[in-house]
Amino acid sequence: MNKLFITLLICIAVICTQATNVINVAIWNNGTDVNIGTMDITAGVYAQMEITLTGFVYQPSILQSSTYNYVTNQLSLYALNLQKEPFLFIIDTNTWSILSKTPLYEEFQYGGLASTNTQQNNLFTTCSVGGYIYPSTIDPNTNAISKLDTVLGSYRGSVYLPKIESYLVLFKNQTGLFGKVYSETSSVVSEINFHFSGNPYPVNDAPLNLVYDSTNRNVLAQVYMTDSNGRPSYALAHLVWTPGYVPAALHLSRMTGYTGDIFLTTVLNNQRQQYAYSFADSFGQTTLYTFSTYTNNFVTFRPIFTKVLSAF
Ligand SMILES: *[C@@H]1O[C@H](CO)[C@@H](O)[C@H](O)[C@H]1NC(C)=O
Ligand SMILES: *[C@@H]1O[C@H](CO)[C@@H](O)[C@H](O)[C@H]1NC(C)=O
């Protein structure tokens, strides 16, 4: 190959891998209201507000209390009012209007929302109370929650797996970290004992904020470790599958944050480019990391001015 040809190849490679601007839906709290809007995740420093839920608060990211349906562009989220009463909101992000607002039983903590990305907006969710979790489905017509199972343990994350049309819920009990896979028709598809691999530091028992990466058809988890100086260290991990499409382990990648940064939420590039973006709390400021899911490496990071708690 001559030099010109190589240069040409490099130019093509650069053009192909350059990220185009991507607009994502984002959720944040502003102290009095839940704010929902859009953010250019590749270049923006602020999110633009489109709709507010006045007098409501969005719960911490680790509960995974929202999900986005990429087919209908509907955002489903739980929020608490000033009396801490939980509600399920379904929002149309084409028109930025509230399609429904459903009051829920107060005794539960609600999270783990996962859209199946169907026209009907079928949803999975996990409710928790008194040391038990209840993986459940939500009826798209009535918004009624029906429990699929009762599990003694603490919620550690959940995600919808389109390939097997099932919902994976991770939980911690006195024996360890486990996952259960559910289909919409209630049966437990499988039950797995999870472990971590490739972790540079000890992994803390903490929620894992699972997210589905449709480009690479895999699941990413946010793993909280403590480094040798006793400081928080976060990294993204991949779900590793065993034959028969059974998830088995969470393998730590080189997609790592800087020491002390607490990952809040991770969103995959929705234009089918191989990037993942993690919002982090960096000593009170918000930082947005860009990772390559192609090379599994850190790409860049920058400060942003909206403390985004979930994004899609
Ligand atoms: C939150 O946003 C709403 C809508 O823009 C605004 O009315 C309200 O004053 C804001 N609250 C605070 C504390 O900034
Ligand atoms: C933890 O959950 C696993 C999977 O369901 C189960 O086999 C194990 O007995 C549980 N441990 C305790 C202490 O309940």
Give per-residue burial for 170-208: e unless 16+ CB within 10 Å, then b.
Answer: bbbeeeebbbbbbeeeeeebeebebebeebebebeebbb
d(CA 144, CA 249): 33
Q: What is the mean pLDDT of the chain?
A: 92
Statement: residue 305 has pLDDT above 50:
yes
Whether 31 lines ligand 1, by a CB cut-off of 6 Å, is yes
Q: What is the pLDDT of residue 186?
A: 66
**What pLDDT, in 10s, does the model give residues 192-203?**
899 999 999 999
Q: What is the pLDDT of residue 56?
A: 98
d(CA 49, CA 161): 30
> 147: helix, coil or strand?
strand
The pLDDT > 90 percentage for the chain reads 85
Cα-flanking dihedrals φ and ψ of residue 3, to 5°?
A: -60, -40
d(CA 109, CA 156): 13
Q: Which two tokens stand for residue 302?
A: 């920058």
Measure the N-to-C terminal CA separation of the chain; round to a whole number of Å.
43
Q: Which two tokens stand for residue 134?
A: 């209840």
Average pLDDT over residues 110-135: 97
d(CA 183, CA 190): 10
Average pLDDT over residues 8-37: 72
Q: What is the pLDDT of residue 21?
A: 66
Q: Could you say which ligand is closest to the alpha carbon of residue 171?
A: 2
Work out the number of other CB atoms within 10 angstroms of the CB of residue 44: 19
Measuring from atom 9 of ligand 1, which residue has the nearest CA?
32
Q: Which helix (H) or strand (E) holds 3?
A: helix 3-17
Average pLDDT over residues 155-173: 96
Whether the Cβ atoms of residue 72 and residue 121 lie closer than 8 Å to each other: yes
The atom number, within ligand 2, closest to the CA of 151 reads: 5
Q: What is the pLDDT of residue 276?
A: 97
pTM across the whole model: 0.91
Give the lowest-confidence range in 57-66, 69-78, 149-158, 179-188: 179-188
The pLDDT > 70 percentage for the chain reads 93
Report CA(223)–ligand 2 centroid distance (Å): 22
Q: Which residue has the tokens 């919409």?
A: 184
Whether 32 lines ligand 1, by a CB cut-off of 6 Å, is yes
Q: What is the pLDDT of residue 52?
A: 98
d(CA 305, CA 161): 33
Residue to probe by mutation, ligand 2, list 177, 178, 194, most atoms within 8 Å of CB: 178
